[in-house]
A and B are shown apart, each in its own frame.
Chain A
C-alpha cells in the first residue's frame, strides 16, 4: 500500500541550529513530493515540491529538500532555524492515481524551537 512515514513525531532544536526532518515513502514509481507546514490551529502552507529534475529543491522560508530515489526519501532541511519555524511539518506524496490529484500525508513532525 502507498504510505508516507515521518519517523520523528517531535523534534526540538535550539534557535540557530540546523534542522533535518525525515520523510520516507512507499510507492513503486517516483511520485510527486511535497512538504507543507502548519501553525497551530491553522491551515497548511506549501513549503516546496518535487516533480522531476534537480533532486535538491529550494522552497520558501529558507527550506530545502533533497530527493533520494535509492532511499525513497525526501528529507526537509534548514541550515539555521528561527523561533518562528516552530510548527508542524507534513510530508505528502501524490502518486499517479489515474487522474485525480490524490495526496497521501505523513503523520507529521512537530518542531519546537528553544531560544
Chain B
C-alpha cells in the first residue's frame, strides 16, 4: 500500500540537542511538506519542497532545517535554535500544482525537556 511513514512515533530529547525526524513516502509525489501542530493553533507550514534538491521556507522555518536528496525522503532537523520545539510534527506529500490533495503521515510527537 502506498503511503507516508514517519518515525519515530514519539521522540524525547534534551534541550540543546539537534534532532532529526524522518519522513518517507512511496506515493511517487514530487511535493513534500512539514507542518507543526500545537493545541488550538491548527497546522503551520515549516518547510516545503516541490522537487528533489529544492526546498523553500514556510511560515515558521526559524530553528528548523531540511534536505531533499531523494524523491521519497524529506527529513526535518529541529535544531537547538528552535525556542519551543515540543510539538506534534506532520509530514505530507502531494502531486505538484495548486489545490492538489495533501496526504499526511501519522506524525511524530517531539518532547524536549
Distance from A58 Cβ to chain B, minimum over Cβ atoms (Å): 15
Query: Size range of the interface on A?
Result: 20 to 34
Distance A106 CA – B41 CA, assembled complex (angstroms): 8
| Least CB separation from B96: chain A residue | A101
Q: Given the known inter-chain contacts A103-B45, A106-B42, please indicate yes or no for A43 contacting B99, CB distance below 8 A.
A: no
| List of B residues within 8 angstroms of A36 by Cβ | 104
Taking the complex as formed, is A115 at the interface, i.e. its CB lies under 8 A from any CB of chain B?
no
A43–B98 CB distance below 8 A:
no
Query: Size range of the interface on B?
Result: 20 to 34
A43–B40 CB distance below 8 A:
no
B106–A107 CB distance below 8 A:
no
| Least CB separation from A106: chain B residue | B42
Distance from B4 Cβ to chain A, minimum over Cβ atoms (Å): 8
A44–B104 CB distance below 8 A:
yes
| List of B residues within 8 angstroms of A94 by Cβ | 98-99
Cross-chain contact of A101 among B42, B102, B105, B109 (Cβ < 8 A): B102
Taking the complex as formed, is A46 at the interface, i.e. its CB lies under 8 A from any CB of chain B?
yes
Cross-chain contact of A43 among B41, B50, B100, B105 (Cβ < 8 A): B105
Distance from A45 Cβ to chain B, minimum over Cβ atoms (Å): 7
Distance A51 CA – B106 CA, assembled complex (angstroms): 26
Distance from B43 Cβ to chain A, minimum over Cβ atoms (Å): 4
Cross-chain contact of B45 among A34, A42, A90, A102 (Cβ < 8 A): A102
Q: A43-B4, A107-B41 are in contact. List 14 more A-B contacts (CB 8 A).
A: A32-B98, A43-B6, A43-B104, A44-B90, A46-B102, A49-B99, A94-B98, A94-B99, A99-B98, A101-B96, A101-B97, A102-B45, A105-B44, A108-B40
